[in-house]
Amino acid sequence: MEEAFVKTPLGVAKITGDSHGIASIIVLDTEEIRTDIIPESLEDAVYQLNEYFEGIRKQFLLDLKPEGTEFQKRVWKALQNIPYGQTTSYLELSKTLGDIKAIRAVAAANGKNPIWIVIPCHRVIGSDGSLTGYAGGLHRKQWLLEHESPFKQQSLF
């Protein structure tokens, strides 16, 4: 596996993968990039992630190879169907997967998502509209949802 690091508005993202696909994208609690070298196999992921943060990209076109259980992979696949700028609830996601009683398992799989932003687990909120758990921190979840919102907050001054 190869690694690349990219600065984002939410911290440094570490991308791991190879020519077969992206295995993980995680956000680090640091502003320091460990290396500026970007392996050829990860160049497209770095490019697309930068486009996302610039507000240009709304859909990722990357080969993904996350490691997890079959159930987790089903949840992560379902997450990829949540459109940019929209949200769903854990309850609705469990209904989509065909088992309303699996809501806690769905939430747990969502929390173990290894591919930050590209598999958009930040688009899952509580049934009451609240921002609930997010591995990267609720401040990042809120930032991402605002970034994707079609209704941008205007400054009064």
Residue 17's Cβ-side half-sphere holds a number of Cα atoms within 13 Å equal to: 26
> Which residues are identified as catalytic?
121
Choose among 89, 90, 86, 93: nearest CA to 148: 86
In terms of residues, how long is the chain?
Answer: 157
Quick one: CA torsion of 12, 17, 22, 25, rounded to 10 degrees?
-20
Residue 61 corresponds to which tokens in the numbers above?
Answer: 């076109």
